[in-house]
Structure 1
Amino acid sequence: MRKIVVVDYPKDWETKMEDVEVVDAQTYLTDTTYTDIKNARIFNLCRSYKYQSAGYYVSLLAEARGHKPIPSVTTMQDLKTPTIARAITMEINDLVQKSLSKLKSKTFTLSIYFGQNVAQKYEKLCKQLHDLFQAPLLRAQFVFKDEWVLQSISPIPVTDVPENHKRYMVKFAKAYFARHRFSGARISRKVYDLAILVDPEEKAPPSNERAIQNFVEAAEQQGFYTELITKDDYRRLAEFDALFIRETTSVNHHTYKFARKAHADGLVVIDDPVSILRCTNKVYLAELLTKAKVPVPKTMIIHKDNREQVEAELGLPCVLKKPDSSFSQGVVKAKDRKGLEKQLDEMLSDSELIIGQEFTPTDFDWRIGVLDKQPLYACKYFMAKDHWQIYNWNGKKKQDEEGDDEVVPFEDVPFHVLHTALKAANLIGDGLYGVDLKEIDGKAYVIEVNDNPSIDAGCEDKILKKELYAAIIKSIKRRIDNHKNIRTDG
Structure 2
Amino acid sequence: MRKIIIVDYPKDWEEAIEDTEVVDAQTYLTNSTYTDIRSARIFNLCRSHRYQSAGYYVSLLAEARGHKPIPSVTTMQDLKSPTIVRAITVEIEDLIQKSLAGLKSKSFTLSIYFGQNLALKYEKLSKALHDHFQAPLLKAQFVYKDHWVLQSISQVPINEVPEDHKKYLKSFAKAYFARHRFSGARRSRKAYDLAILVDPQEKAPPSNNKAIQQFVEAAESLGFYTELITKDDYRRLPEFDALFIRETTAVNHHTYRFARKAFADGLVVIDDPVSILRCTNKVYLAELLTKARVTVPKTMIIHKDNRCKVETELGLPCVLKKPDSSFSQGVVKAKDQESLKQELDKLLDDSELIIGQEYIPTDFDWRIGILDKQPLYACKYYMAKGHWQIYNWNGKRKQDEEGAGEVIPFEQVPFHVLHTALKAANLIGNGLYGVDLKEINGKAYVIEVNDNPSIDAGVEDRILKKDLYTSIMKTIKQRIDNQKTGNGRTDG
Task: State the TM-score, normalized to the length of structure 2.
Answer: 0.78
2:6 alignment partner in structure 1: 6
In 1, Cα distance between equivalents of 2:339 and 2:96: 51
Is 1:418 aligned to 2:456, yes or no?
A: no
Deviation at 1:42, TM superposition (A): 0.7
In 1, Cα distance between equivalents of 2:393 and 2:93: 38
Asked if structure 1 preserves the Cα contact closer than 8 Å seen for 2:46 and 2:157, the reply is no
Per-residue CA deviation, residues 444-479 of structure 1 (Å, 9 max, x unaligned), is: 322211122112233222333333233223323333
Name the SS for the 2:181 alignment partner: coil
Name the SS for the 1:479 alignment partner: helix
Per-residue CA deviation, residues 112-161 of structure 1 (Å, 9 max, x unaligned), is: 66445788776545534543554446688999999999999764749989
Asked if structure 1 preserves the Cα contact closer than 8 Å seen for 2:384 and 2:391, the reply is yes
Per-residue CA deviation, residues 312-334 of structure 1 (Å, 9 max, x unaligned), is: 55444332333332211222223
Question: In structure 2, what residue type is equivalent to 1:404?
Answer: A
1:438 alignment partner in structure 2: 438
User: Could you say if the C-alpha distance between residues 439 and 225 of structure 1 is closer, same or farther in structure 2, counting changes exceeding 3 Å?
Assistant: same
Per-residue CA deviation, residues 371-396 of structure 1 (Å, 9 max, x unaligned), is: 11011122221111111111111111
2:392 alignment partner in structure 1: 392
1:59 alignment partner in structure 2: 59
1:406 alignment partner in structure 2: 406
Asked if structure 1 preserves the Cα contact closer than 8 Å seen for 2:259 and 2:272, the reply is yes
- The answer to which of 63-72 and 381-390 deviates more is 63-72
1:480 alignment partner in structure 2: 480
Asked if structure 2 preserves the Cα contact closer than 8 Å seen for 1:139 and 1:156, the reply is no
Deviation at 1:482, TM superposition (A): 2.9
Deviation at 1:14, TM superposition (A): 7.3
User: Could you say if the C-alpha distance between residues 101 and 361 of structure 1 is closer, same or farther in structure 2, counting changes exceeding 3 Å?
Assistant: closer
In 2, Cα distance between equivalents of 1:344 and 1:89: 31
User: Could you say if the C-alpha distance between residues 128 and 395 of structure 1 is closer, same or farther in structure 2, counting changes exceeding 3 Å?
Assistant: closer
In 1, Cα distance between equivalents of 2:142 and 2:316: 64
Per-residue CA deviation, residues 249-281 of structure 1 (Å, 9 max, x unaligned), is: 333444334434444444433222332232223
User: Could you say if the C-alpha distance between residues 464 and 92 of structure 1 is closer, same or farther in structure 2, counting changes exceeding 3 Å?
Assistant: same
User: Could you say if the C-alpha distance between residues 187 and 88 of structure 1 is closer, same or farther in structure 2, counting changes exceeding 3 Å?
Assistant: farther
Asked if structure 2 preserves the Cα contact closer than 8 Å seen for 1:187 and 1:225, the reply is no
In 1, Cα distance between equivalents of 2:151 and 2:340: 54
1:270 alignment partner in structure 2: 270
User: Could you say if the C-alpha distance between residues 470 and 333 of structure 1 is closer, same or farther in structure 2, counting changes exceeding 3 Å?
Assistant: same
Question: In structure 1, what residue type is equivalent to 2:389?
Answer: Q
User: Could you say if the C-alpha distance between residues 129 and 380 of structure 1 is closer, same or farther in structure 2, counting changes exceeding 3 Å?
Assistant: closer
1:451 alignment partner in structure 2: 451
Asked if structure 2 preserves the Cα contact closer than 8 Å seen for 1:118 and 1:165, the reply is no
1:229 alignment partner in structure 2: 230
1:361 alignment partner in structure 2: 361
Mapping of residues 460-475 of structure 1, within 5 Å: 460-475=460-475
Mapping of residues 102-251 of structure 1, within 5 Å: 114-116=114-116, 123-124=123-124, 127-128=127-128, 130-131=130-131, 134-136=134-136, 155=156, 157=158, 173=173, 175-186=175-186, 189-221=189-221, 222-230=223-231, 232-234=232-234, 237-251=237-251
Deviation at 1:339, TM superposition (A): 3.3
Asked if structure 1 preserves the Cα contact closer than 8 Å seen for 2:49 and 2:55, the reply is yes
- Work out the number of aligned pairs and report it: 486
1:259 alignment partner in structure 2: 259
In 2, Cα distance between equivalents of 1:191 and 1:414: 41
Question: In structure 1, what residue type is equivalent to 2:326?
Answer: S
In 1, Cα distance between equivalents of 2:37 and 2:163: 35
In 2, Cα distance between equivalents of 1:375 and 1:281: 23
Deviation at 1:41, TM superposition (A): 1.5
User: Could you say if the C-alpha distance between residues 169 and 449 of structure 1 is closer, same or farther in structure 2, counting changes exceeding 3 Å?
Assistant: same
1:377 alignment partner in structure 2: 377
In 1, Cα distance between equivalents of 2:44 and 2:201: 37
- The answer to which of 426-435 and 328-337 deviates more is 328-337
User: Could you say if the C-alpha distance between residues 143 and 293 of structure 1 is closer, same or farther in structure 2, counting changes exceeding 3 Å?
Assistant: closer
Question: In structure 2, what residue type is equivalent to 1:432?
Answer: L
In 2, Cα distance between equivalents of 1:145 and 1:356: 41
In 2, Cα distance between equivalents of 1:102 and 1:282: 43
User: Could you say if the C-alpha distance between residues 316 and 114 of structure 1 is closer, same or farther in structure 2, counting changes exceeding 3 Å?
Assistant: closer
Question: In structure 2, what residue type is equivalent to 1:297?
Answer: P
| Structure 1 gap segments, 5+ residues each | none
User: Could you say if the C-alpha distance between residues 423 and 130 of structure 1 is closer, same or farther in structure 2, counting changes exceeding 3 Å?
Assistant: closer
User: Could you say if the C-alpha distance between residues 110 and 450 of structure 1 is closer, same or farther in structure 2, counting changes exceeding 3 Å?
Assistant: closer
User: Could you say if the C-alpha distance between residues 180 and 459 of structure 1 is closer, same or farther in structure 2, counting changes exceeding 3 Å?
Assistant: farther
Asked if structure 1 preserves the Cα contact closer than 8 Å seen for 2:364 and 2:382, the reply is yes
Asked if structure 1 preserves the Cα contact closer than 8 Å seen for 2:180 and 2:236, the reply is no
Asked if structure 2 preserves the Cα contact closer than 8 Å seen for 1:181 and 1:187, the reply is no
Asked if structure 2 preserves the Cα contact closer than 8 Å seen for 1:195 and 1:229, the reply is no
Question: In structure 1, what residue type is equivalent to 2:465?
Answer: K
In 2, Cα distance between equivalents of 1:100 and 1:360: 53
User: Could you say if the C-alpha distance between residues 190 and 125 of structure 1 is closer, same or farther in structure 2, counting changes exceeding 3 Å?
Assistant: farther
- The answer to which of 408-417 and 345-354 deviates more is 345-354
Per-residue CA deviation, residues 328-386 of structure 1 (Å, 9 max, x unaligned), is: 12222233344344434444454454433333222221111111101112222111111
1:297 alignment partner in structure 2: 297
Identity %: 77
Task: State the TM-score, normalized to the length of structure 1.
Answer: 0.78
User: Could you say if the C-alpha distance between residues 303 and 186 of structure 1 is closer, same or farther in structure 2, counting changes exceeding 3 Å?
Assistant: closer
Deviation at 1:72, TM superposition (A): 3.8
Name the SS for the 1:244 alignment partner: strand
Question: In structure 1, what residue type is equivalent to 2:229?
Answer: L
Deviation at 1:433, TM superposition (A): 0.7
Deviation at 1:295, TM superposition (A): 2.8
Name the SS for the 2:463 alignment partner: coil
Question: In structure 1, what residue type is equivalent to 2:62?
Answer: A
Asked if structure 2 preserves the Cα contact closer than 8 Å seen for 1:294 and 1:446, the reply is yes
Question: In structure 2, what residue type is equivalent to 1:368?
Answer: I
- The answer to which of 169-178 and 219-228 deviates more is 169-178
- The answer to which of 56-65 and 7-16 deviates more is 7-16
Question: In structure 2, what residue type is equivalent to 1:389?
Answer: Q
Deviation at 1:88, TM superposition (A): 7.2
| Structure 2 gap segments, 5+ residues each | none
In 2, Cα distance between equivalents of 1:341 and 1:144: 42
Name the SS for the 1:210 alignment partner: helix
In 2, Cα distance between equivalents of 1:139 and 1:428: 39
